[in-house]
Amino acid sequence: MKKWIALLLVSAMVLSVAACGSTPGESSKGEDAPPASDTKSFTTAVEGKLTMATNATFPPYEYLEGNEITGIDAEIAAAIAEKLGLELQIDDMEFDSITEAIKSGKADIGLAGMTVTPDRQEEVDFTVSYATGVQVVIVTQDSAIASVDDLFAEGASHVVGVQRNTTGDIYTTDDIEKEGLGTIDRYGKGAEAVQALKTGKVDCVVIDNEPAKAFVAEVEGLKILETEYVTEDYAAAMSKDNKALYDAVNAALEELIADGTVKGIVDKYITAE
List residues near ligand GLN by CB under 6 A. Answer: 55, 58, 95, 112-115, 133, 163, 166-167, 208
With a CB cutoff of 8 Å and minimum separation 6, the contacts of 11 are 116, 129, 233
Nearer to ligand GLN, 36 or 116 (CB): 116
> In terms of CB distance, is 33 or 196 closer to ligand GLN?
196
Quote the CA–CA distance of 62 and 229 in Å, as a whole number.
23
Strands 204-208 and 131-140, sheet pairing: antiparallel
Q: C-beta of 209: minimal distance to ligand GLN in Å?
A: 10
Instruction: Decide whether 114 or 224 has the Cβ nearer to ligand GLN.
Output: 114
At its nearest, how many Å lie between ligand GLN and the CB of residue 234? 6
Nearer to ligand GLN, 39 or 173 (CB): 173
CB of 153 to ligand GLN, least distance (A): 25
Minimum CB separation from ligand GLN for residue 117, in Å? 7
Residue closer to ligand GLN (CB basis): 171 or 246: 171
Q: Across-strand partners of 109?
A: 52
Residue 50 per-residue DSSP state: E
| Closest-CA residue to 88 (of 102, 75, 72, 103) | 75
Instruction: Select 21 or 190, whichever has its Cβ closest to ligand GLN.
Output: 190
Residues 55, 92: contact at Cβ < 8 Å?
Answer: yes
- Minimum CB separation of residue 170 from ligand GLN in Å reads 7
Q: CB 163 → ligand GLN: shortest distance, Å? A: 5
Would you give the distance in Å from CA 2 to the centre of its chain?
21
Residue 61 CB, nearest approach to ligand GLN (Å) = 7
Residue 84 or residue 131: which is nearer to ligand GLN going by CB?
A: 131
Task: Write the DSSP symbol of residue 36.
Answer: G
Alpha helices in 2-154 (DSSP H): 2-21, 72-84, 98-103, 118-123
State how far the alpha carbon of 239 is from the alpha carbons of 44, 46, 260, in Å.
11, 15, 26
Q: What long-range pairs does 4-13 form, CB within 8 A, spacing at least 24?
A: 4/230, 6/118, 7/230, 7/231, 7/232, 7/233, 9/118, 10/116, 10/117, 10/118, 10/121, 10/232, 10/233, 11/116, 11/129, 11/233, 13/116, 13/121
